[in-house]
Amino acid sequence: GAVVSQHPSRVICKSGTSVKIECRSLDFQATTMFWYRQFPKQSLMLMATSNEGSKATYEQGVEKDKFLINHASLTLSTLTVTSAHPEDSSFYICSAIEYQETQYFGPGTRLLVL
Amino acid sequence: AQTVTQSQPEMSVQEAETVTLSCTYDTSESDYYLFWYKQPPSRQMILVIRQEAYKQQNATENRFSVNFQKAAKSFSLKISDSQLGDAAMYFCAYRISNTGNQFYFGTGTSLTVIP
């Protein structure tokens, strides 16, 4: 199957700093990528849809200025958590759509804001 | 609104036995895709099986098979000969075809495999 990488896998930062998470499709081109947030023992919550070459589409309740998304190429999307606070601590997962509408996921990034 | 319902928060199965996880969905669309994803403790989401709504034949993937009932909007996953490595959260997901829009996920079923 298609491979999606995500970096870093884990990050600890101080409150007020910004954190960038990268999502790459390694063996396919992805015009659309998704960013999710997952709380413990819960389902995935879609944050935004990232489209190559255009602005991301954010879900209701997700702050655009807080969670900056850039999809600069067909293989890379980045999520920047700006001025992170402890309530932003979570597990963030990206995904990309490949052949036949199938979504493949990155391994996730665990963010802890102190 | 598109919704996906997994009515079993937790399930358990004896090793080597068969278990069925249920999923129902609500849609007015006729062309869509359905998926089962597995999330083990590593939290990496792994595709288990997919089904195109226009196909009447149920998808199978080794020990995994689905029972797709389009009229009933039901999409259950059967795991045969359960193995310890099957222990995970299982999410049912739905997506409308060719829209570029999001996937809709169920709330998940936690599967325990008993040795």
For the segment B66-110, what is each residue's pLDDT rounded down to a tens digit? 999 999 999 999 999 999 999 999 999 998 876 656 788 999 999
- Does pLDDT of A25 surpass 70? yes
pLDDT at B24: 97
Predicted confidence band of residue A105 (pLDDT cuts 50, 70, 90) = very high
d(CA B52, CA A104): 17
Average pLDDT for A22-49: 91
pLDDT at A55: 87
pLDDT at A100: 57
Tell me the pLDDT tens digit for each residue of A46-97.
999 988 888 899 999 999 999 999 988 889 999 999 999 999 999 999 999 8
pLDDT at B86: 98
- Does pLDDT of B1 surpass 70? no
In DSSP terms, B74 is beta-bridged to B24, B69
Closest Cβ opposite residue A44 in set B33, B95, B105: B105
Predicted confidence band of residue A99 (pLDDT cuts 50, 70, 90) = low
B47 — contact with chain A (CB < 8 Å)?
yes
Most B CBs within 10 A among A47, A101, A104, A105, hence the mutation to make, goes to A101
pLDDT at A69: 94
B43 — contact with chain A (CB < 8 Å)?
yes
Tell me the pLDDT tens digit for each residue of B26-66.
988 888 999 999 999 999 999 999 999 999 899 999 999 99
Check CB contact under 8 Å for B107 and A38: no
B38 — contact with chain A (CB < 8 Å)?
no
Query: How far are the Cα atoms of A15, A97, B56, B106, B108 from residue B18, in angstroms, in the given order?
Result: 48, 31, 23, 22, 19
Average pLDDT for B11-19: 98
Most B CBs within 10 A among A103, A104, A109, A111, hence the mutation to make, goes to A103
Closest Cβ opposite residue A107 in set B44, B47, B107: B44
d(CA B58, CA B18): 17
Q: Quote the mean pLDDT of chain A.
A: 92
pLDDT at A62: 95
Check CB contact under 8 Å for B107 and A43: yes
B91 — contact with chain A (CB < 8 Å)?
yes
B50 — contact with chain A (CB < 8 Å)?
yes
Give the nearest chain B residue to A44 (CA atoms): B105
pLDDT at B29: 85
